[in-house]
Structure 1
Amino acid sequence: MRLQDQLFLQRESALLDAARLLFRQQPWDRVTIAEVATQAGIGKGTVYKHFPSKEALFARLTLDMSQANLDELRALHAAQPPQQAMRQVIRHHFGLILGDPILAQLCQHCDRPAFQERLEAPYREQFLQLERDYVSFFGQLLQDTFNDRALSPADCQSLLWGVEACVNGVMARIASGGFEHWANPIALNAYFDSVTDFIIAGLHGQAASICHPSASHE
């Protein structure tokens, strides 16, 4: 790799690290490009050579963190017995979100159609590819969980809708600060366990309905 390319990557990494640090010190949506540049020790004009807008910076952070989480979930999946993988992956995913609430907030922000429409085409394509990768990963999890049933791609997609709704609900709960403001606070670990149980039970019930449609009418 050329020295110029190495320096470019080093500056980009420094900017991303600076943004992550600032996002933990103040509301992330109020952080300016100038503040990121100052924190990274890089001229403001140079920032735009890496990220043409603050939206692009948000997108890159979200894409990087989401990809890292997906890689970790893939590794966990590979290390688990097939029948246990789904539960372990879902529960671990909740822990990853809790470990970085900024990710939950950024993911929700960057998932908005209006946000992605403002992005440059390469970023939009990366979000589409990330979505395809997550769908493919959870589709494989479903095939492993229900390896005694012939689930079609359409069946897997239907099952994933419920998983996505529950995961997004957990993400929103973490992004909003958990349950500390409730009159009777709820322990997040107990909440995660309960939601995971709910998802697993729902998947089994829905899969049974798909494979035996008449059972839902008896």
Structure 2
Amino acid sequence: MVELTRKQREFARREEDILSAALSLFDGNDWQSVTVAQIANKAEIGKGTVYKHFSCKEEIYARIALSHFEKFREQWPTKIPEDNRLAAVEQILRLAFQVSLDDPVGAKVAHFCHRAEVRKRLPEAVAKAFEELEKQDQCFFEELLEAGMSCGEIPRQSVEELVIALHASFHGTLRMIWDGDIAAFKGLTPERFIEINSRFMVAGILGKRSH
């Protein structure tokens, strides 16, 4: 293991300070209006110092989002199970929801980073890191669903359309929680709301396609 120099350690520490400052400022409804100057002020450094670490605010978003994804991937299955693929799908969905509840700021920023206008402003290396993570996750999920269909556990249908529907349901569920929409349902907690929607998503996988 290569030992970092003092200058490198200080650079890394300052970068973490910037990200921590950004996270604290992003914990609110108007987080997208937070400026680089405000982040610098929170981190008690100059605005120019922020740009020594990050080329733009979108790159700060990206670093927070990638960190959020890593929290999820630390618990991601390493291989497709040989039996009960449907249970594995539900486990992954519940895991993704739980990580989002545990890290709401990171989840919101990660959701925002799916936007094309954010991606196009990222440095090439960071944009590629996003693309690679998404490709790996999508391939794993598609292979899991395909394996379930091949053994008859999941009805044969378009894997691509199924992934799109699950993606929309997942982000729609989180959006309702973030926007406070579930308050319209008396006594409904985010955890219970997620449980209901996870079951609904799994039921949708088993449902017949409309023609």
Other-structure match for 2:108: 105
Superposed CA offset, 1:78-133 (max 9, x none): 8x975522212212221222223323432332211122222222222222112112
Whole-angstrom distance in 1 between the partners of 2:52 and 2:153:
50
Partner of 1:203: 205
In the superposition, the TM-score normalised over structure 2's length comes to 0.80
Runs of 4+ off more than 6 Å = 75-78
Counterpart of 1:66 in structure 2: which amino acid?
F
Residue 52 (structure 1) aligns with: 55
C-alpha deviation, 1:57, in angstroms = 0.8
List aligned pairs for 1:158-169, cutoff 5 A: 158-169=161-172
Could you tell me whether the CA contact under 8 Å between 1:94 and 1:192 is conserved in 2?
yes
1:92 and 2:98 correspond: no
Structure 2: gaps of 5 or more residues: none
Q: 1 or 2, which has the higher helix percentage?
A: 1
For 2:110, give the aligned amino acid: C
The reply on whether 1:15 has 2:18 as its aligned counterpart is: yes
Where does residue 177 of structure 2 map in the other structure? Answer: 174
The size of the alignment, in residue pairs, is 205
Q: Does 1:190 align with 2:192?
A: yes
SS in 1 for 2:77: helix
Q: d(CA) in 1 for partners of 2:25 and 2:89?
A: 35
Question: Aligned residue for 1:213?
Answer: none
1:130 to 133, 145, 149: 133
Q: Indicate conservation of the 8 Å contact 1:97/1:103, yes or no.
A: yes
Secondary structure of the residue that 1:195 maps to in structure 2?
helix
Shift of 1:65: 0.9
Question: Which of residues 141, 144, 152 in structure 1 aligns to 2:144?
Answer: 141
User: Residues 26, 177 of structure 1: CA spacing in aligned structure 2 closer, same or farther, 3 A cutoff?
Assistant: closer
Amino acid at match of 1:197: R
In the other structure, the counterpart of 1:64 is: 67
Deviation at 1:39, TM superposition (A): 2.7
Alignment RMSD, CA only? Answer: 3.1
Separation in structure 2 between the aligned mates of residue 9 and residue 117 of structure 1, nearest angstrom: 26
Match of 1:34 among 32, 37, 56: 37
Identity %: 29
Task: Tell me the distance in 2 between the aligned counterparts of 1:134 and 1:77.
Answer: 12
Q: Which amino acid in structure 1 is aligned with residue 182 of structure 2?
A: F
Residue 140 of structure 1: how far off its partner (Å)? 4.1
CA contact (8 A) 1:179 1:185 kept: no
Q: What whole-Å deviation, never above 9, does each CA across 1:9-49 have from its counterpart, x for those lacking one?
A: 22211211121122226732232222322332333211101
